[in-house]
Amino acid sequence: MTMNRRHFLKGLLSVSCVALGSTSVLKPLTAMAGTLSEPKEDWLVTGSHWGAFRINRKNGVIDKVLPFDTDKYPSDMINGIRGLVYNNSRARYPMVRLDYLLKGWDSDTTKRGDFRFVRVTWDQALELFIDALNTVQTQYGPSGLHAGQTGWRAVGQMHSCTSHMQRAVAMHGNFIKKVGDYSTGAGQVIMPYVLGSTEVYAQGTSWSLILEHTDTIVLWSNDPYKNLQVGWNTETHESYFYLAELKKKVKEGKIKVISIDPVVSKTQNYLENVEHQYVNPQTDVPLMLGIAHEMVKQGWHDADFIQGYSLGFDEFLKYLQGQSDGVEKTPEWASKICGISPERIRELAKVMTTGRVQMMMGWCVQRQQHGEQPYWMAAVLATMIGQIGLPGGGISYGHHYSGIGIPASGAAMPGAFPRNLDEGVKPIFDNNDFKGYSSVIPVARWIDSILEPGKVIDANGNKVTLPDIKMMVFSGCNPWNHHQNRNRMKEAYHKLKCVVTIDTNWNAGSRFSDIVLPACTTLERNDLDIYGAYANRGILAMHKMVEPLYESLSDFEIFTRFARKLGKEKEYTRGMNELQWLEYLYNGCKQANNGQFDMPDFASFWKAGYYDFGPGKPWVRHQAFREDPEINPLGTPSGLIEIYSRKIASYNYDDCPGHPTWMEKVERSHGGPGSKKHPIWLQSCHPDKRLHSQMCESDEFRATYTVKDREPCYLNAKDAKKRGIKNGDIVRVFNDRGQLLAGAVISSNFPEGVIRIQEGAWYSPVGKDGAKAGGWEIGALDSYGDPNTLTLDIGTSKLAQACSAYTCLVDYEKYTGKVPEVSGFSGPIEVSV
């Protein structure tokens, strides 16, 4: 030791150094030690959108994740589960944007997205949250606050993020809510008029009956093999057994599968021997009309079924045959728009009226301008085929979703933590004066509201006056994934005075917020879930695997503390803690199933981790209606299938008339409007390796599919060659609305004029020219590849006002500028102020 150092150390001890050190971050080990206890090797059970698992821990850290005993077809997304907890994007502490902390509602909102945050205590954060709610209710009333949620959730009947946030915020005051969702916005509005239910969220004919009876399956823009990996509740993956059986039958020539789709789907590649029918993007309606025209011309349609079960075919026929608009919808007419030869259209008409035909619609075709029309027109085709209600025939709109088509067990499912206030409970600001604004708006029109408050729009037969939103609260829901047109969103966010986000991660939703409250993941709390969203196969325990990381808390704990600050804790929790709630929900389910299923007591269930209700019985959609439409009418105004809807016609909407109609889009590739300037159609379908934006944060798993750290963009070889692009290049994709970088994957699955970038890629803006700073700017470059940087933010029509993400043209080029590091998957980037 040198003299200097000894001298220094000596001196150090000579002064009173009590002040220097602070309390150590270490303390003696006690028997109660949490995360530092001896490694446990027990395997606990939990569920997720991606399936059920058994998980073990080491040093309080999740070690291995295995598929649950019953899951014979686990998704490879199981490899991303661990990364949901341990990733570099985690929101660790309650934080507040510094400028908001300093200036509150007078803060500079123009640089949201790139800003300095400071850690605050939970008490401070919740008080700031409540202060903001006080301000909005006092100054603007309930029309100034949108807490209606716009997106998804994590699984669990107890900790559902929306329920907790909305119940708690409702104890403070009223707020704007939404109707519909981004996935099926047009479908769920049009189908009740046509078939009497949303159809998209309804049980479908059982796969076993389809395998037994169907001759031809028509997959219409539908990719079940990709999409059935995930579910609204814990997914059982039983559908994959049936897809495997289907593959065998296709190989044996017993079932024909036609995939009508601009691209070759994952399902098609899996099933093999599928007939691929290319169609120009967004032109499904002309193709369907051409098929219908041929059916009528040849007399192949089922006139008796049409007569007995539907309404308005004659009216539609006038349009089909050109009497009402002077344009006959012949295969030749259709061919010019949809890109399929008249002969092939005629052949399809023949195939679809031969033997037992099951049409299976995907959701993509309704996420475009006039997205109501392909769904309606498909129902008309199915009516003309005349097999609705027969086993293995008719039409479905959900066989790719959440295990639809697996027979339901018939068991009652456990309830959930309540979303609404209990009877008699009043909010502190008990004010229902929305100042003439609508209190419920179509889900995808909230940005319109912020930008154009007071504007009156049509929506599903009503007039909606867009409210003047000043504050938004999001919980477990990232609007910077599912909404369209990032630059337009930025404009709107400049007008918001306060944004509160409760999330597990620093996704763009958090980064564009003022107050960020860290929620723990599903693996850090106790819960229970329905096993099989539509099959209702069982009840699954969701054991807490590890303590909440950092200072994150469960949704229940966050809003219990929030309610406590309002003096309403007991009203919020009903005096029950987490485990008491789980027991209460379980016991409610046990009681409802009494006599049908002999469920064990809660303690036994919790220990076992699972209760199995067993398989259900095969079932046919609309069978009862077919058997007797008078006794079992559909939920339509007439009780019949409405090919022509008097109700819709009475709305007099120019973009959604009384029967299915072809209308040109504002943007359409392959010769359509705008295709000279931006010739490529952008397909932003549901991802193969995520659930929307969930799991994008899982760093190690993300690395298995990214290209030079970017989201892959799938390109046609000729298009790529024309632009000098090779596999693995970084590509700039752009239009007048925005620009992004993505990694080129050239694939024979994609035709000329089409590019696929899957939605759910985290928005990661950097400066316009690739500079690190400037992600907050309008026109910023997205460094990762979020397709909604480019998509169009318009309603599908005056009927549904749903999202139209699929009406989107772009172009792309090899990126030669400065390659920025991907700015997402980390914390906010700071800018000097």
Partner 1 sequence: MSQTEVNQARSLVYNLFSSLFAWEISEQRQKELTSPDAMVFWDMLAQDPNMARPVQILLATLTQMTTERQRLELAADFCGLFLVGDKNAASPYASLYLSDEDRPTIFGEQHHVMCDFLRQSQLQVQSDFKEPADHLAVMLAFMAQLCVTASDESQLAFLETCIDSWLAAFVDKVDTCDPGQFYSALAKMTLQWVRDDISALKQL
Nearer to partner 1, 5 or 676 (CB): 5
Nearer to partner 1, 2 or 307 (CB): 2
Nearest one of 758, 793, 760, 801 to 484, comparing CA atoms: 793
Q: Which of residues 18-77 bind partner 1 (CB under 8 A)?
A: 18-30, 33-36, 38, 58-61
* Rounded Cα distance, 84 and 90, in Å: 9
Q: Can you list the alpha helix ranges (DSSP code H) found in 609-713?
A: 623-627, 646-651, 699-702
Residue choice 66, 69, 72, 102 for contact with partner 1 (CB under 8 A): 102
Query: By the 8 A CB rule, do 580 and 528 touch?
Result: no
Query: By the 8 A CB rule, do 714 and 706 touch?
Result: no
User: What single string gives the DSSP state of each residue in 291-337?
Assistant: HHHHHHHHT-S-HHHHHHHEE-HHHHHHHHTTTTTS----HHHHHHH
Residue choice 90, 213, 490, 690 for contact with partner 1 (CB under 8 A): 90
Q: Does 5 bind partner 1 (CB under 8 A)?
A: yes
Q: Which stretch binds partner 1 (CB under 8 A): 73-81, 232-240, 663-671, 824-832?
A: 824-832
Q: Which of residues 264-283 bind partner 1 (CB under 8 A)?
A: none
* Closest separation in Å from C-beta 824 to partner 1: 9
Residue choice 321, 638, 749, 826 for contact with partner 1 (CB under 8 A): 826
* Closest separation in Å from C-beta 739 to partner 1: 21
Residue choice 48, 87, 449, 460 for contact with partner 1 (CB under 8 A): 87
Please compute, for residue 56, the number of CA atoms within 13 A of its CA located in the half-sphere on the CB side.
9
Nearer to partner 1, 415 or 770 (CB): 770
Residue choice 13, 423, 463, 676 for contact with partner 1 (CB under 8 A): 13
Token output for 600: 């064990």
- Within 10 A of 150 (CB to CB), how many other CB atoms are there? 22
Give the list of residues 6+ apart from residue 751 with CB closer than 8 angstroms, or none.
Answer: 262, 263, 278, 716
Q: Which stretch binds partner 1 (CB under 8 A): 80-88, 470-478, 648-656, 659-667?
A: 80-88
Nearer to partner 1, 87 or 221 (CB): 87
Residues 485-524 vs partner 1: string with x where CB under 8 A? Answer: ---------------------x------------------
Give the binding-site size for partner 1 (rule: CB under 8 A). Answer: 71
Nearer to partner 1, 93 or 363 (CB): 93
Nearer to partner 1, 76 or 422 (CB): 76
Residues present in the chain in total? 833
Q: Does 3 bind partner 1 (CB under 8 A)?
A: no
Q: Which of residues 684-713 bind partner 1 (CB under 8 A)?
A: 699-700, 703
Nearer to partner 1, 105 or 122 (CB): 122
State the burial class of residue 748 (Cβ atoms within 10 Å of its Cβ: 0-12, 13-18, 19+).
exposed
Residues 447-486 vs partner 1: string with x where CB under 8 A? Answer: ----------------------------------------
* Rounded Cα distance, 223 and 453, in Å: 39
Nearer to partner 1, 92 or 617 (CB): 92
* Closest separation in Å from C-beta 527 to partner 1: 21
Residue indicated by tokens 């007399």: 299
Q: Which stretch binds partner 1 (CB under 8 A): 9-17, 152-160, 598-606, 754-762?
A: 9-17
* Closest separation in Å from C-beta 87 to partner 1: 6
* Closest separation in Å from C-beta 401 to partner 1: 31
Q: Does 95 bind partner 1 (CB under 8 A)?
A: yes
* Rounded Cα distance, 804 and 797, in Å: 9
Opening angle at CA 303, ends 277 and 390, nearest 5? 65
Q: Does 832 bind partner 1 (CB under 8 A)?
A: yes
* Closest separation in Å from C-beta 85 to partner 1: 8
* Closest separation in Å from C-beta 825 to partner 1: 7
Q: Which stretch binds partner 1 (CB under 8 A): 224-232, 461-469, 631-639, 818-826?
A: 818-826
Nearer to partner 1, 11 or 253 (CB): 11
Please compute, for residue 99, the number of CA atoms within 13 A of its CA located in the half-sphere on the CB side.
20
Query: By the 8 A CB rule, do 413 and 596 touch?
Result: no
Opening angle at CA 723, ends 708 and 667, nearest 5? 95
Q: Where are the beta strands (DSSP E) in 346-392?
A: 357-361
* Closest separation in Å from C-beta 35 to partner 1: 8
* Rounded Cα distance, 642 and 192, in Å: 10
* Rounded Cα distance, 137 and 697, in Å: 35
Please compute, for residue 302, the number of CA atoms within 13 A of its CA located in the half-sphere on the CB side.
21
- Within 10 A of 464 (CB to CB), how many other CB atoms are there? 22
Nearer to partner 1, 343 or 547 (CB): 547
Query: By the 8 A CB rule, do 317 and 293 touch?
Result: no
Q: Can you list the alpha helix ranges (DSSP code H) found in 364-513?
A: 372-385, 446-451, 479-482, 486-495, 508-511
Nearer to partner 1, 79 or 632 (CB): 79
Write phi, then psi, for 515 (nearest 5 degrees).
Answer: -125, 125
Nearer to partner 1, 95 or 496 (CB): 95
* Closest separation in Å from C-beta 83 to partner 1: 7
* Closest separation in Å from C-beta 783 to partner 1: 11
* Rounded Cα distance, 471 and 469, in Å: 6
* Closest separation in Å from C-beta 545 to partner 1: 12
Query: By the 8 A CB rule, do 555 and 165 touch?
Result: yes
* Closest separation in Å from C-beta 205 to partner 1: 44
* Rounded Cα distance, 53 and 47, in Å: 6
Q: Which stretch binds partner 1 (CB under 8 A): 44-52, 97-105, 307-315, 799-807?
A: 97-105
- Start-to-end CA span in the chain (Å): 46
Nearest one of 762, 763, 786 to 696, comparing CA atoms: 762
CA distances from 135 to 125, 130, 138, 216, 820 (A): 15, 9, 5, 60, 40
* Closest separation in Å from C-beta 763 to partner 1: 15
Residues 110-139 vs partner 1: string with x where CB under 8 A? Answer: ------xxxx--------------------
Nearest one of 552, 469, 465 to 517, comparing CA atoms: 552
Residue choice 47, 80, 83, 509 for contact with partner 1 (CB under 8 A): 83
Q: Does 526 bind partner 1 (CB under 8 A)?
A: no
Nearer to partner 1, 93 or 207 (CB): 93
Query: By the 8 A CB rule, do 358 and 783 touch?
Result: no
Nearer to partner 1, 592 or 771 (CB): 771
- Residue 277 gets the label, from left (phi > 0), alpha (psi -120 to 50) or beta, of beta
Nearer to partner 1, 78 or 381 (CB): 78
Residues 531-570 vs partner 1: string with x where CB under 8 A? Answer: ------------------xxx-------------------
Q: Does 425 bind partner 1 (CB under 8 A)?
A: no
Q: Does 748 bind partner 1 (CB under 8 A)?
A: no
Token output for 825: 């998957």
Residues 641-670 vs partner 1: string with x where CB under 8 A? Answer: ------------------------------
Token output for 358: 């099951």
Q: Which stretch binds partner 1 (CB under 8 A): 206-214, 328-336, 719-727, 820-828?
A: 820-828
* Rounded Cα distance, 546 and 525, in Å: 8
Give the list of residues 6+ apart from residue 110 with CB closer than 8 angstroms, or none.
Answer: 494, 776
